[in-house]
Amino acid sequence: MSEPQQRVLGIDPGLNITGYAVVEKVGGKLKLVEAGVVRGKSRGDMPARLKEVFDGVTDVIESLKPTDLAIEELYSHYERPKTSILMGHARGVICLAAQQAGLAIRSYAATQIKLLLTGNGRAPKSQVQRAICREFGLAAPPEPPDVADAMAIALCHHYLSNKTSQASLTH
């Protein structure tokens, strides 16, 4: 069996729970290497929480050796701007960990991920979870939902990076 060309780390960024999933193509088949969460333990202490996210993602990168990082773009809702600002902090330390490890980094909009996996850019979480279960032959969606989201992001990157029109489809 040959070495995988590409090993994708999909990340669903969060301050309390950051979902991750690593997928690779081996022998023409897509394989889930590992999926899980990085959990923050510090409450209310932003610098400590950011360090936990950074350290956790760095550990995942060091142990699973991905070649690429796929991460969800920030989405800002006008009623909750503080949420996107806080998520930007988490996303920043995740991108820093990936950059320091020399990974290629790509961002994807949630609507793009949903459209690719379900055919509907506004698909509910349950529909995305069903697509993940179908793709990986899972009996039930992974828990917590952040893991399924990370798997969806990794799948999106895998599919789009293997198309010749990647530059026009990614951000």
Catalytic status, residue 72: yes
Query: What is d(CA 4, CA 75) in angstroms, rounded to the nearest whole number?
Result: 32
The token duo for 102 is: 């020399």
Catalytic residue among 55, 72, 73, 143: 72
| Beta strand segments in 40-163, E | 68-72, 104-108
CA atoms within 13 A on the CB side of 146: 16
Catalytic residue among 12, 24, 68, 149: 12
| Per-residue exposure over 43-79, b if at least 16 CB sit within 10 Å of its own CB, e if not | eeeeeebbebbbebbbebbeeeebebbbbbbbeeeee
Strands 17-26 and 104-108: unpaired
Catalytic residue among 52, 68, 146, 149: 146
Instruction: Fill in the amino acid letter for 147.
Output: V
Catalytic status, residue 12: yes
Q: Which residues are known to be catalytic?
A: 12, 72, 146
